[in-house]
Amino acid sequence: MSEARIDKISNENSTAGPIISGITTFSGQNYFVPPKGTTAERPSYCSPGSIRFNTDSAKLEYFDSLQWLEMEAFNNELGISTAAAGLSAVGTGHRGVFGAQTVAGGTYSTIIDHITISTLGNGTKFGDLTVARGNGSGSCSSNTRGLFLAGIVSPASSNIIDYITISSTGNAIDFGDTINKSEGKRALSSQTRGISFGGFDRGNSFAYYNTLDYVTIASTGDAVNFGSLSSATQNSYFGGACASSTRGIIGGGVVGNSNVIEYLTIATTGNTVDFGDLTSSRAYGAGAFSNSTRGIFAGGVQTPTPTVINVIDYITIASIGNAQDFGDLSSTISGSGYIVGACSPTRGVMLGNTSPATTILEYITIATTGNSTSFGSDSTFIASDGGFLSNGHGGL
């Protein structure tokens, strides 16, 4: 193998450069610098496998022949990538991140908080959203990146999508927009694709949406159409959703106090198909999460006369059929009804409001059955109608 030692190669107008063929090895004592630029400066026409550094996201990305995708690195024991952590920082395990929630006085917050799912403890601040919002922001995630979708940016419904890097702490970055402005939206995901659905738009005579739209999580950009909810769930909002790596599950919702469960195939596009029924109708919560085999739906409220549901249901995602009883939420957390959930492969954590000053976190062990147990609390939020995501759910 020939060897050439070169200190620098440059081209003033950046139109061309040397072409090196064959097996090539780069070595050096420090680093090499790839091309860089903003998201807006991405080239539209280049060879598959092209690599650049995105200065907006601070990530390496590659071109797959159709679009630019972020290079993702994964470690089950996440490190804390903040300057204060230093090089000796230990892993944090699977992380749950929640935001886009309602705060005191019925206003909305930019604050994002997080927990370590394998431990017990209170939520602590992660960063801030790009804008204050709440009232049903959907959330989904890969094992490195989390998305918060839509909700209300007072006084109007929103279509904003923000993203965060789960292993770090810091502020969210703009990702793109959902198809419709909506509140009460929910979402699910695999490692590569995030799917959001349902919701209503207060700026459009409170119109309900039956649309499903999707994004590629490792990239950025606006959502595109996936399909539609069935007639049984087409007016649903504030339901619950979870997934395996291949199948997405949707259950519950307002408008008729739905007990319907439906499913879709994440890698394709199309409409939802009947899966079965929950043990009881519920909405405003139905805090849902899953590992790779079992999906959980917890809590909720029946309307119009508010009736709190404390039941925890479970399903086997790969099959179809009705949900079965798992256990009950404690009276402490079920009193709110407005519940969201996130999980690791073994533990599910539910977040709900119980008082004017505190949000309660409780957990279950997904593989067993039984009642929920105290996890911790969070004083930042007083309601639980926002997004809750993790880097350890069943879709990964």
pLDDT per residue as tens digits for the range 335-378: 665 788 999 999 999 988 765 556 888 999 999 999 999 998 87
Output the pLDDT for position 386: 81
Q: What is the pLDDT of residue 205?
A: 82
DSSP 322-378: --EEEEE--HHHHTT--EEEEE-SSEEEEEEE-SSS-EEEEEEETTS----EEEEEE
Q: Let me know if residue 158 belongs to a domain.
A: yes
Q: What pLDDT score was predicted for residue 3?
A: 67
**Is 14 a member of any domain?**
no
Greater pLDDT, 227 or 33: 227
Q: Do 200 and 276 share a structural domain? A: yes
Does 99 lie in the same domain as 57?
no
| Residue range 239-274, pLDDT digits in tens | 889 999 999 999 887 666 678 899 999 999 999 999
For the chain, the average pLDDT equals 84
Q: Are 263 and 374 contained in the same domain?
A: yes
In this structure, are residues 146 and 152 in contact, taking their beta carbons and an 8 Å threshold? no
53 pLDDT above the threshold of 80: yes
Instruction: Please tell me whether residues 50 and 107 are part of one structural domain.
Output: no
| 86 has a pLDDT exceeding 50 | no
In a shared domain, residues 237 and 344: yes
Looking at residues 105-124, what average pLDDT do you find? Answer: 88
pLDDT at residue 41 is higher than 50: yes
CA–CA separation, 375 and 131 (whole Å): 29
Residues 242 and 147 in one domain: yes
On whether both 101 and 167 belong to a single domain, the answer is: yes
What's the confidence (pLDDT) of residue 396? 92
Residues 62, 112, single domain; the answer is no
Please report, for the domain that includes residue 295, its CATH number: 2.120.10.80
The answer to whether position 6 is within a domain reads: no
Quick one: pLDDT band at residue 17, thresholds 50, 70, 90? Answer: low
The whole domain housing 259 covers 95-390
Q: 176: which strand partners?
A: 161
pLDDT at 208 over 70: yes
CA-based R_g, the chain, Å: 22
Does position 83 have pLDDT exceeding 50, yes or no? Answer: no
The reply to whether 180 and 47 lie within a common domain is: no
Domain shared by 185 and 99, yes or no: yes
| 18 located within any domain | no
Number of structural domains the chain divides into: 2
Above pLDDT 70, what percent of the chain?
Answer: 82
Q: Could you tell me which residues are beta bridge partners of residue 157?
A: 152
Q: What is the pLDDT of residue 34?
A: 87
- Tens digits of residue pLDDT in 67-78: 787 775 544 445
Of residues 88 and 391, more confidence is placed in 391
- Asked whether residue 323 falls in the same domain as residue 281, the answer is yes
Give me the mean pLDDT over the 53-59 stretch: 79
